[in-house]
Amino acid sequence: MSRLGFFLLASLLALPAPAQESPTTQDVAPQVGPTATVDQSPSSQVLRLEEVVSAALAKNPGVQSAVHSVEALRHKIPQAKSLPDPDVSVGWMGNLTPFSVQEGDPSSYRGIGVMQSIPYPGKLKLRGQIAAKDVDAAQWDYEAVRRRVVADVKAAYYDYFFYDKALQITLKDKDLLQKLSSISEARYRVGKGMQQDVLRSQVEITLLLQRITVLKQQRATAQARLNTFMARDPGSPLPPAASVEPAALNEKLDALYALAAKNDTSLQREQQMVEKSQLATQLAHKDYLPDFGVAYMYQQRPNMPDMNGMTFTVNVPIFYKTKQREEVRQAAEEVISAERSRDNRKNELQFELKQNYLSAEASKQLLDLYSKAVVPQSSLALESSMSAYEVGNVDFLTVLSNFSTILNYEVDYYRELANYQAALARMESLAGMELTSARQLPSDGGANSAK
């Protein structure tokens, strides 16, 4: 072989294999949901919860980031299962001039060599399985982000609904108070009432105007929060929220515990970490076993036949006391740590469910009390006292007290309704099911997402 031919062969062997063009992230990333927008046409009279949730999932950057994190880790699996890159060597012995040999000297040569390391059977498979566990854990991370966004959007929507209702009630009661003030003025003009009643009614109207100003600001804040979840301008107008009815909490606490044990994203992620650590322990034990190497060498000598050679190598783990043994001990400790972290999440999960369940039960009891007793009774008391005040049978302070009672309890009813629905939304995130209809939450993530 000529020097030029040898040089070309060596150059070709040293070049990396051409890489296939990989698909872009957009090609492989799973769809997180249909692109959704909130209808702003004149025919759209109310803002529906499902529209807001769909728009938030389609546009939320946190959800998109979690999707691409899963895909990034998925591309690590074939890397972990691949053989190490082979080593290619090119060398000569003789003159200083590259690839030149000394004529007549049999020890002079130029040559190329290729060496491939081969891990002990089973090691590459375990490394691939470990990488796959990272993907499984990332999928549960994605599902956690998705569920958290849904729960946060629902809580924001219920707040928006509450401030809408509170503002409507307060405006309605302002009109009622103005009517009551007109009655007190009429009675004062004919000498049947006192001036302090007129002044007191005007003070109460001013206080209601102050409350209306605060409620408008709080409603605007809730609107901005919803717009932010949907990746819209915070000041974009939104129609009023659709009517919200209290959902039935049919599931018992023990049933929710069982559902959460299967569906909680943090618990499932911790379980994947336990299994990953167990695989790492198996790999640590396999590191006691040697890896292999095979090499081929071709030599070209002056005025002599070309030579071919093969070399087989095996590493000898003679430092196992400070390397492999400690690796096994490390892996065993990591298994224990992962198991304890999983058990800790089980305890936290039960507390979080219990806390939200008790919160929902308390809100539901208050809703029943307000709707069936307090609000109807207060409404009757106000109507009766206003009629009696017109004919002079009760004093103005009694009417005003009844008025304040009905206003506060009507607003409190919708506050508790929002709290109740938000508590259910938080339990949905933990249990992995929609409590209002007892069906599984639609999921793009979890254990089976992005497959």
Summarize pLDDT for 48-94 with one digit per residue, the tens. 999 999 999 998 888 999 999 999 999 999 999 999 999 999 998 98
Question: Between 195-229 and 396-431, two packed helices, what is the crossing angle to 10 degrees?
Answer: 10
Structure confidence at residue 391 (pLDDT): 65
At residue 3, does pLDDT exceed 50? no
- How much is the CA Rg of the chain, to the nearest whole Å? 37
Strand 433-434, strand 307-314: pairing: unpaired
How many residues appear in the chain? 451
Structure confidence at residue 392 (pLDDT): 67
Residue 327's closest CA among 291, 300, 288? 288
At residue 270, does pLDDT exceed 90? yes
Locate the domains of the chain by residue range: 3-12+46-83+119-287+323-448
Structure tokens at 247: 């959902």
At residue 446, does pLDDT exceed 70? no
Q: 211 vs 163, 182, 396, CA distance in Å?
A: 12, 21, 22
At residue 406, does pLDDT exceed 50? yes
Structure tokens at 157: 């929507």
The domain made up of 3-12+46-83+119-287+323-448 has a fold known as: Outer membrane efflux proteins (OEP) (1.20.1600)
Q: How confident is the model at residue 293 (pLDDT cuts 50, 70, 90)?
A: very high
Question: What is the per-residue burial (b if ≥16 Cβ within 10 Å, else e) of 133-145?
Answer: bbbbbbbbbbbbb
Contact 389, 183 (CB under 8 A): yes
**Cα–Cα distance measured from residue 221 to residue 12, given in angstroms and rounded to the nearest whole number:** 66
* Segment 326-349 mean pLDDT: 95
Structure confidence at residue 16 (pLDDT): 46
Contact 73, 131 (CB under 8 A): yes
Question: Which residue type occupies 394?
Answer: V
Mean pLDDT of the chain: 83
Contact 255, 430 (CB under 8 A): no
> In which order are the strands placed within the sheet that holds 87-93?
87-93, 109-118, 292-300, 307-314
Residue 416's closest CA among 382, 377, 381, 375? 375
Within 8 A by CB and 6+ apart from 346, the residues are: 261, 267
Phi first, then psi, for residue 418 (nearest 5°) are -65, -40
At residue 115, does pLDDT exceed 90? yes
Residue 180's closest CA among 394, 30, 403? 403
**Cα–Cα distance measured from residue 339 to residue 333, given in angstroms and rounded to the nearest whole number:** 10
**Cα–Cα distance measured from residue 136 to residue 450, given in angstroms and rounded to the nearest whole number:** 10
* Segment 140-166 mean pLDDT: 94
Structure tokens at 439: 């069906």
Q: How confident is the model at residue 187 (pLDDT cuts 50, 70, 90)?
A: low
Q: 374 vs 164, 173, 251, CA distance in Å?
A: 22, 17, 28
Q: 316 vs 287, 323, 331, CA distance in Å?
A: 11, 12, 22
* Segment 334-345 mean pLDDT: 96
How far the first Cα of the chain sits from its last, in Å, is: 52
* Segment 294-300 mean pLDDT: 94
- CA 282-287-290 angle, to 5 degrees, is 135
At residue 300, does pLDDT exceed 80? yes
At residue 160, does pLDDT exceed 90? yes
Contact 156, 426 (CB under 8 A): no
Comparing 19 with 98, the larger pLDDT belongs to: 98
Using one digit for the tens of pLDDT, what is the confidence trace for 198-236? 677 777 788 888 989 999 999 999 999 999 998 889 999
